[in-house]
């Protein structure tokens, strides 16, 4: 595995982040097609550095956050018992969250750090909270209607 990011890779990554007219899922899929699976972690690390260095504009950061989330998304945990518990759960250390769910996103600490960043745009904060917040599982499908003429 190469340690450094080539100018070609950096250019491809920045071009990808400039696709702000495409749906966000399409940009995520384009990331997966553009870079080999073996390079995903390295490219995601580069995204983290670009975010932390403040060189990305708002739409590029939103796309970068989505890619970081989407690369390692896993089944969602059970929802919080109380909506008031969510801020406490999100403000716990990233290590505690990762200890609760081994195998979680290795870039979760970066996403959580960005939520607490001073001067963060409100749409950015809401997007990040949406990504890292537990979601309710979908409701169960309705039971099939009783069969007509069935004798019980």
- Residue 59's pLDDT is what? 94
% the chain with pLDDT above 90 = 52
Indicate the average pLDDT of the chain: 80
Give the rounded distance of the alpha carbon of 117 from its chain centre. Answer: 17
- Residue 147's pLDDT is what? 77
Residues in CB range of 104: below 8 A, 6 or more apart: 72, 74, 97, 98
When mean pLDDT is compared over 3-7, 15-19, 73-77, 80-84, the highest value belongs to 15-19
Give this prediction's pTM.
Answer: 0.69
For 89, counting Cβ atoms within 10 Å of its Cβ (0-12 exposed, 13-18 middle, 19+ buried), the class is middle
- Please state, in angstroms and rounded to a whole number, the distance separating the CA atoms of residues 57 and 17: 10
- Please state, in angstroms and rounded to a whole number, the distance separating the CA atoms of residues 77 and 69: 15
- Residue 97's pLDDT is what? 47
Q: What angle do CA 102, 48, 100 make, to 5 degrees?
A: 15
- Confidence bin at 1 (pLDDT 50/70/90): very low
78 is written with which tokens? 């059970």
Per residue in 31-51, pLDDT tens? 999 999 999 999 999 999 999
- Residue 141's pLDDT is what? 72
- Residue 99's pLDDT is what? 46
């Amino acid at each position: 595995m190469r340690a450094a990011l080539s100018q070609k890779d950096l250019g491809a990554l920045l071009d990808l982040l400039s696709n702000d007219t495409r749906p966000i899922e399409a940009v995520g899929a384009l990331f997966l097609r553009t870079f080999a699976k073996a390079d995903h972690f390295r490219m995601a690390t580069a995204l983290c550095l670009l975010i932390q260095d403040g060189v990305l504009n708002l739409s590029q950061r939103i796309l970068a956050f989505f890619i970081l989330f989407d690369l390692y998304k896993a089944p969602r945990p059970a929802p919080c018992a109380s909506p008031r518990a969510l801020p406490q759960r999100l403000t716990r250390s990233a290590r505690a969250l990762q200890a609760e769910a081994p195998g979680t996103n290795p870039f979760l600490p970066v996403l959580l750090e960005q939520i607490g960043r001073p001067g963060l745009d409100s749409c950015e904060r809401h997007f990040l909270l949406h990504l890292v917040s537990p979601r309710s599982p979908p409701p169960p499908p309705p039971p099939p209607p009783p069969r007509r003429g069935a004798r019980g």
